[in-house]
């Protein structure tokens, strides 16, 4: 990916985002550290950190086809888990010691079942589990997830022999809160008329945060923010765009939008603002309760959380206003029912009660294909805004 950013920190981030393995993970492993892969941002990374793991958010980066995974998944499955599974069947996750899944969506939750049967041996993971995340966000659901997190804590402690104390969890919460605050600070820079970082570059920076030791990431992110403060901004764009959607870890997709003149200035994505807009409550005396509350209730939700559509819509509206957005692109991986229906409602709300904010639903596959079609649709969308 071409970039104007000179910062050395950004180069590190680009390396981490552009492949599964990177030099920071390698250094961690060389020091005897262990890595735990996890699916979906609702897995409490803080517990993995307290158990001594480096948490790694699962991606299929580098995958070119799904030939091996096709024996286990079908063409009507989202291409994200299919590519991740393909990488797993090729043994690309040998750097993992553990895999923590959650019943995120119908496609991703089956990774666990297929992994324990067909990919575990190939990659040599020694611990796998699937957490039961509620689909509502009431107090009973917080209690349920509280127990789930404690079970994970117990099982990981048994597995690793590490005592996972409250203090260690609190420390991990503090570190992750610092990380989140910095990511938010990075996003704040994008409110400028000429943001010093593009949407594609911001995605690189966020993805990198899920693939290296947190303290090292914090150090690099601070450096990047400092470097960007006086950097030349991006101008000459046709419109300021917000992205809304699910799993998107490929900056190339945003690049295509930006090449057409739509500068992506903010988002409500899974590798994006929803990860860090809110912090875990450090004042709560029981850190596990704080985590349960955070992952079930406090953080901006995704469509799998039933009953929270008005809040999601409000979150989108607030960000669109704060970042002075001209139009919203609803990105979706094909075969995703969650985001198809969510975008359907968003489009309606923006039209009926949103001051006619333009909205484009733009489907894609995990590995970018049909770039021409994406370009044409984005061009046409930008033209409607110019009118």
| 303 touches another protein by CB under 8 A | yes
Q: Which is nearer to another protein, 240 or 332 (CB)?
A: 332
Burial of 340 (0-12, 13-18, 19+ CB in 10 A): middle
Q: Which of residues 266-295 bind ligand SF4 (CB under 6 A)?
A: 270
Q: Which is nearer to ligand SF4, 111 or 228 (CB)?
A: 111
| 12 touches another protein by CB under 8 A | no
- C-beta of 339: minimal distance to ligand SF4 in Å? 5
Q: In terms of residues, how long is the chain?
A: 387
**Binder among 7, 42, 260, 297 for ligand SF4 (CB under 6 A):** 42
The rounded distance, in Å, linking the Cα atoms of 61 and 307 is 33
The backbone torsions φ and ψ at residue 101, rounded to the nearest 5 degrees and listed phi first, read: -110, 170
Show the site string, 346-375: x = touches another protein by CB under 8 A, - = not: -xx------------x--------------
Helices 199-208 and 251-259, interaxial angle, to 10°?
A: 170
* Contact partner at residue 251 from ligand SF4, another protein, none, CB < 5 to 8 Å by partner kind: none
- C-beta of 256: minimal distance to another protein in Å? 21
Q: Which of residues 72-111 bind ligand SF4 (CB under 6 A)?
A: 78, 80, 104-105, 107-108
| 29 touches another protein by CB under 8 A | no
Which residue(s) pair with 329 in the sheet?
Answer: 243, 360
The rounded distance, in Å, linking the Cα atoms of 239 and 383 is 10
At 34, list the tokens.
């262990």
At 308, list the tokens.
């929270």
| 336 touches ligand SF4 by CB under 6 A | yes
**Binder among 24, 201, 249, 342 for another protein (CB under 8 A):** 342
| 72 touches another protein by CB under 8 A | yes
Q: Which is nearer to ligand SF4, 317 or 343 (CB)?
A: 343
| 109 touches another protein by CB under 8 A | yes
* Helix (H) and strand (E) counts in the chain: 16, 8
The backbone torsions φ and ψ at residue 113, rounded to the nearest 5 degrees and listed phi first, read: -60, -40
At 384, list the tokens.
């409607």
190 torsion bin: left (phi>0), alpha (psi -120 to 50), beta (else): alpha
Residue (of 113, 55, 59) closest to 86 by Cα position: 59
At 129, list the tokens.
């589990």
Show the site string, 172-211: x = touches another protein by CB under 8 A, - = not: ----------------------------------------
Question: Which residue do the tokens 């860090």 mark?
Answer: 276
The rounded distance, in Å, linking the Cα atoms of 328 and 351 is 12
- C-beta of 306: minimal distance to another protein in Å? 4
| 307 touches another protein by CB under 8 A | yes
Backbone Cα Rg of the chain? 20
| 19 touches another protein by CB under 8 A | no
* Contact partner at residue 385 from another protein, ligand SF4, none, CB < 5 to 8 Å by partner kind: none
Question: Which residue do the tokens 């119908």 mark?
Answer: 106
| 214 touches another protein by CB under 8 A | no
Show the site string, 245-264: x = touches ligand SF4 by CB under 6 A, - = not: -xx-----------------
Q: Applying CB under 6 A, which residues contact ligand SF4?
A: 40-42, 78, 80, 104-105, 107-108, 246-247, 270, 302, 304, 333, 336, 338-339
């Amino acid at each position: 990916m071409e970039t104007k950013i000179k910062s050395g920190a950004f180069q590190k981030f680009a390396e981490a985002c552009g492949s599964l393995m990177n030099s920071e993970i390698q250094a961690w492993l060389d020091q005897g550290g262990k890595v735990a892969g996890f699916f979906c941002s609702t897995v409490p990374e803080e517990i993995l950190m307290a158990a001594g793991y480096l948490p790694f958010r699962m991606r299929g980066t580098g995958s070119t086809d799904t030939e091996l995974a096709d024996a286990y998944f079908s063409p009507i499955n989202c291409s994200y888990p299919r590519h991740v599974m393909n990488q797993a069947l090729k043994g690309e996750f040998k750097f993992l010691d553990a895999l923590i899944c959650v019943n995120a969506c119908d496609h991703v939750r089956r990774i666990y079942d297929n992994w324990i049967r067909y990919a575990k041996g190939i990659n040599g993971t020694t611990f796998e589990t699937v957490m039961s995340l509620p689909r509502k966000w009431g107090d009973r659901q917080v209690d349920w997830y509280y127990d789930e997190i404690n079970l994970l804590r117990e099982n990981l402690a048994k597995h690793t022999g590490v005592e996972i104390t409250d203090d260690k969890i609190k420390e991990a919460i503090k570190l992750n809160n610092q990380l989140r605050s910095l990511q938010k600070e990075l996003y704040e820079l994008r409110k400028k008329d000429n943001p010093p970082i593009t949407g594609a570059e911001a995605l690189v920076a966020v993805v990198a945060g899920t693939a290296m030791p947190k303290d090292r990431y914090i150090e690099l992110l601070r450096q990047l923010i400092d470097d960007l403060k006086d950097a030349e901004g991006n101008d000459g764009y046709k419109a300021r765009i917000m992205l809304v959607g699910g799993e998107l870890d490929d900056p190339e997709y945003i690049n295509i939008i930006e090449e057409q003149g739509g500068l992506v200035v903010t988002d409500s994505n899974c590798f994006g603002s929803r990860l860090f807009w809110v912090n875990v409550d450090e004042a709560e005396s029981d850190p596990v309760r704080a985590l349960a509350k955070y992952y079930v209730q406090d953080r901006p939700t995704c469509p799998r959380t039933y009953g929270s559509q008005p809040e999601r819509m409000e979150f989108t509206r607030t960000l669109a206003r704060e970042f002075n957005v001209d139009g919203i692109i609803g990105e979706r991986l094909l075969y995703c029912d969650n985001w198809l229906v969510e975008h359907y409602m968003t489009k309606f709300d923006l039209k009926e009660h949103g001051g006619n904010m333009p909205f484009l639903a733009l489907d894609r596959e995990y590995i970018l294909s049909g770039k021409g079609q994406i370009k044409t649709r984005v061009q046409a969308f930008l033209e409607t805004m110019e009118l």
